[in-house]
Structure 1
């Protein structure tokens, strides 16, 4: 071979033989493929080969790499290789460094569990191994090269338990097993053999489910980086971590650690980044005694007390994030004004009051500022902050209008603006050229709707006093994802062009004075997920072009003047979960299509207060698959569901009153067909809808008996069949409905004995009134052999006493006891007893006292449960 190539960049030749022994083509912009017949494999004397950071998009790693039998260093990382890593790599027995990592989550390269084990067993000279983001999906073998100094197996799909032998590798300097959430581990009970050499330890997202041992801070004294983010750690932070005098980076984010921050931890001499976010830490912050800190993240704890004045001495600080704690007191802007490197300041949602007694400004280096709920009243302290990109001043006391100098400062930099929940009165324009999130909800804004720049993705300006029409120029925002104009005084027609914004996912215009027709131009490819036009004055028909919105989950057109028949074609929408058409002028029978998969995931349907007629739609109920199965995962999903910026809500009539419900897609399963003109019998198939929480078919013309199948609705909390023409007895199966909180059968033609069950006995006469044929507790007519309290009394009296006025007075006294307080009621009963002293009275006092007490307890339990659900 000619020696000319030995002078090329990246090429090293042997001085004696002239053979190419090193080839470094990293970051060379190479593209294409490396085939098995590539001239690369003719360089059989290579000892080092680096092809990293190129683009071999369609290349596999060739088995021909086996020809490099002298190879000691091989680096193919981040070059978009794909496919299976050949087993031949494990035969390169002289390898000291092997780097095959790929980009996070790409999973383009795969390594079988068998080849992974062979690689670790055969490459006994390995010093460095980096397989980041290779799809291995295996347990970790027990045997490793004792020469290893660097072991990186992050995001590889490992599972099982980390073998303790890893922690005892004698020369280990870096151990990185991050992002393997099916992997678990235990900290060594004895001294780590590698403790003297270990510099970097990253076990983030590995499940440890234990306390941090004190030994960690005593043995790993050489550590410079420790990352135990989201490891399910609990208990206190060991005080021994304050011994890590060389530590530079420390993250314990997202665990369940409690107690205080150990003394001295925030003043470690080399520490530049500390992240203790999202734990349960409490207590005050000590003074900072080192100026090495660059980044401090302590948000999401229960830290309290005043912010230490020593913060102003952290001259190298670029990030201070203390939001969502219990810090209190006055915090003056001057505490941060001299931190010239500060780029991120977060103080939101504490108990602090931000002041500016010294009339200073925050440093111009600031690009993220979070001061939600900090008693901010003015913006003057931001005059110098002309590089802001993220600004959150929500839940404060800012009045009037945003000053012109602020718009000028933010015009070319601000990407996110949140000034919701203030007292702003006017915004003439929003001259932000780069903003993609603008949130001005819940202010006192008046005038016409301001139109933001075309870069805007999320625009929230609901709950204000905006007037006038919606200008069609808003449709120039062709990248709009969410638009919330709810609860204003906007009028006129909805611009037709909204249907052509294919990026739009949420359109919320509820509670305005909009009139005219709903846009009819919803186009194919629409991303619309939620359309809420509730509470306007819209007329005409429901546009059939909504069938183009295949992503639609929530459709709320309630409380308008729509005049149409039931839009059965909406059943073809595969993701529709909520359909609210209540309070319109819809009419006619409900007929469903012969399409098999209609309304497959519908969880809420409200057609109340219309003029629908005919029989209840049995064919519709047959299709409602999501109501026929109890999905416990929905409850769990509700904790995490919803969008960071917007949550769907809907007005639901439940438990006797109307309320706005959020997270509706998870928690509620509702059918409300009340206040229509339905006739005929209640279909037996309704009993199959076992996931129902609310069923209301009151105020119709329904006839016949109540199907016993409704007793299968074990989750139902509100059941209203009132104001119909129902006959027969109440099904005995209703006694097993233990979730009921609202139960109304009033104003029908029911007869017979009221079933006695734990939950049914918590309802008063209002649930049954208007049914003259009903007997038993709580109505006044006795029921023969039932066990209601009044019946028990009458059953033990002779004929004369059972009809006496005394029994009636006794029942009234008992009810007074329930309504006014148990002690008062029983005092009245005692007075009556002492005056007459019937022989049987002593036997029923205990029973009556027990029933009253149990009823009170159940009522209190219902109230607590209701409050708990409302809070959630």
Structure 2
């Protein structure tokens, strides 16, 4: 028996040794840290701008032992430590601070959190704990405030991208960063408020290949030593109007491929040695203070595809060598006409225009100065722009009355966005017959009065956002004739009275999103409308990705077009969230915080495509209809703060996409349904219902405890390597016992 036991033990040891050669599994504490990090965010498609964005963390499951196999996670093959985390464009929304479990992953070498929405939180000082980081990308993720001093402790960094946020680099300043992070190869700080000169110590970063400092409020003289860095391929310092400098002589060994100086105060001549930059693909020096003739050596830049030279003091004829640039795709200000601009056309998007709004000549086609600190009233000269196609003044501090002439643009205007300002008074008659307006957003102002009936002339209107004002009157039922209307947001106003009944079966046929929350609307829920809102009755997977409008215009020899994404603020899963883009497939109704009464109508089961439904903070009575269980794509259901009674229908457990459920503060009774999503809802989802019992509440339901999950099957056990070995030992011991009884 002993011999047999030793033989089996030897066999088992060999099996164990062979398994040890396999890559080790993710460590438990790091797996748990990742799951904690996942749990600190809401998944929201609008938190990422990349059309291909998807929530990588959805693949992270507690029952999956090996986090090294999770999407975006990479581990060291020898130790099992997590060394790389790529959650770029992962639809993450929420805040991040120094207590985040992320900073327990101390072996990280690469961290990419770009293209998410971290809700204007600061970059946490806890980043210093990731001392092994060589690659850090936090770009375009809604961070704000001062870049922490602790980032200078990441001495191994060779790649740093903090661009496209609302960050400042002043303490530490740019000089400190350059002098501490001496191994840097790629440095991207575009749109970071630096407000300083460039230190000469930049010339010591001999490994630097890319330097992006666009729109950083730089000033002073640009160090010419940067142009001579031996490995620099891409240099961009555009849109720093107080940054001066000149072009030095270039040698033939320069690796420069992109040189972008547009919108600076660089001066002097372009040196003839610029022809030595044989690898140059992009050259942008428009809107600077260059002067003199164009050097004939430009013709030597045979790789050049983008050439921008306009709005300078160049003179003389265009060198004939220019015609050798056969790869040229973009050339501004029409070089064949001695570089004199034919059309005055400015597009100002997300720049620091400030008082320039009142002093500069306005363009005649498109004007966008959103996200600035503009003050004062809209100048009346804007009424002279007869061909305006898009007007975006959102997120400023503009005040006064809205110009009555806004209605005169409607035969050319497609986008009118005045969101988040301080405009007051009545909304002018914005639309006339033949209007091309597709999007109107006057939300987050102090507008009063009623919604103008002239809006019925906006027959192409797709989005109307008037929330967060002081608008009164009744529900604008007459907007139902706008058959293209997809988004109607009237939240946080002073609307009153009943919604009423539709006049025909053709009203609001394409409505996807309705938000009437926080008004004074009374009477019963509008079940007659629920019956005819056809777009809400289907699950549309064939439409475009986002709700947006194509804007553009044509001029002789010039054509321009762009996609303008609609946006909104909407309460999702109990939180108010900004949606910079709106998924076309999103169907949502928010009627919360009004005075609706009566029962929830059974016809709501017709709204098959609805994903968010909020009826909270009303006076609703009766039971929760079991037919709501037919809304198979529902993700968020809020019925809290009403007078609902009866039991929670067990049919709701079939809503497998339901991530948020709240029935708190009603008069519900009986057991809480058990299974699927219902096993994930916290206590607060059911608080304020003394008659409810069962998990997750402490109140038991007599003999009803809900069914336990089924026992693990043999196959499930074998997915766990540790349990597999325990199981193998049990088989060996049982076999030995049998043999002993036989012997």
**Structure 2 CA distance, aligned partners of 1:357 and 1:779?**
69
Partners of 2:660 and 2:235 lie apart in 1 by: 48
The alpha-carbon deviation at position 554 of structure 1 amounts to: 0.5
Alignment partner, residue 586 of structure 1: 495
SS in 2 for 1:710: helix
Q: TM-score, normalised by structure 1?
A: 0.44
Query: Map of 1:623-642 to 2, 5 A cutoff?
Result: 623-634=532-543, 637-638=545-546
Partners of 2:378 and 2:403 within 8 A in 1: yes
> Mapping of 1:423-822 within 5 angstroms?
434-443=343-352, 445-446=354-355, 448-450=357-359, 452-453=361-362, 456-501=364-409, 502-634=411-543, 637-638=545-546, 644=562, 646-664=564-582, 666-788=584-706
Distance 1:337 1:700 in 2: 72
Q: Distance in 1 between the 2:652 and 2:281 partners?
A: 53
Q: Distance in 2 between matches of 1:517 and 1:531?
A: 15
- Partner Cα separation in structure 2 for residue 659 and residue 383 of structure 1: 50
* 1:435 positional shift: 3.7
Structural mapping, 1:253-272, within 5 Å? none
CA distance, structure 1, for counterparts of residue 408 and residue 528 of structure 2: 34
8 Å Cα contact 1:449/1:466 also seen in 2: no
For 2:397 and 2:365, the matched residues in 1 are separated by 23
With a CA cutoff of 8 Å and minimum separation of 6, indicate the structure with the bigger relative contact order.
Answer: 2
CA distance in 2, matches of 1:765, 1:385: 75
Identify if the C-alpha distance between structure 1 residues 385 and 461 changes in structure 2 by more than 3 Å, giving closer, same or farther: farther
- 1:718 shift after superposition: 1.2
| Structure 1 unaligned residues grouped into runs of 5+ | 1-283, 285-303, 308-325, 340-344, 387-404, 418-430, 793-842, 854-872
Question: 1:719, 1:690 → 2: CA distance?
Answer: 14
Question: What are the superposed Cα offsets for residues 812-839 of structure 1, whole Å, 9 maximum, x if unpaired?
Answer: xxxxxxxxxxxxxxxxxxxxxxxxxxxx
Distance 1:483 1:728, change over 3 A: same
In the TM superposition, residue 630 of structure 1 has moved relative to its aligned partner by 0.4
Cα pair distance change 1:506/1:627, threshold 3 Å: same
Shift in Å at residue 449 of structure 1?
Answer: 3.8
For residues 640-675 of structure 1, give each alpha carbon's deviation from its aligned partner in whole angstroms, at most 9, with x where no partner exists. Answer: 987635321101111222222133151421100000
- Whether the aligned pair in 2 keeps the contact of 1:563 and 1:586 (CA below 8 Å) is yes
Contact 1:334/1:356 (8 A) holds in 2: no
* Superposition RMSD in Å: 4.5
Aligned partners of 2:435, 2:696: CA distance in 1, in Å? 55
- The CA distance in 2 between the partners of 1:492 and 1:356, in whole Å, is 36
Q: Aligned partners of 1:571 and 1:336: how far apart in 2?
A: 67
Cα offset, 1:334, TM superposition = 5.3
Aligned length: 429
Q: What SS does structure 1 have at the residue aligned with 2:621?
A: strand
Task: Report how far residue 638 of structure 1 moved.
Answer: 3.4
Question: 2: CA distance between counterparts of 1:494 and 1:370?
Answer: 46
Q: 1:649 to 1:444 in 2, by over 3 A?
A: same
Q: Which runs of 5+ in 2 are unaligned?
A: 1-185, 187-206, 211-230, 238-245, 295-309, 316-329, 334-339, 552-561, 721-743
SS at match of 1:439: coil
Q: Helix, strand or coil for the counterpart of 2:523?
A: strand
Q: Deviations over 1:3-59 (max 9, x none)?
A: xxxxxxxxxxxxxxxxxxxxxxxxxxxxxxxxxxxxxxxxxxxxxxxxxxxxxxxxx
The Cα of 1:594 is off from its aligned counterpart by 1.8
CA 1:541–1:383 in 2, change beyond 3 Å: closer, same or farther?
Answer: farther
SS at match of 1:664: coil
* Cα distance in structure 2, aligned partners of 1:745 and 1:510: 33
Cross-structure match for 1:829: none
| Cα deviation 1:513-565 (Å, max 9, x = unaligned) | 00111111521001000000000010101000000001100100000011110
The question of whether the paired residues in 2 share the 8 Å contact of 1:416 and 1:437 is answered with no
CA distance in 2, matches of 1:406, 1:463: 26
8 A contact 1:362–1:381 mirrored in 2: no
CA distance in 2, matches of 1:438, 1:357: 22
Shift of 1:485: 0.3
| Contact 2:266/2:288 (<8 A) preserved | no
1:342-357 matched pairs, under 5 angstroms: none
Indicate conservation of the 8 Å contact 2:545/2:585, yes or no.
Answer: no
Asked if structure 2 preserves the Cα contact closer than 8 Å seen for 1:555 and 1:578, the reply is yes
- Distance in 2 between residues matched to 1:468 and 1:685, nearest whole Å: 49
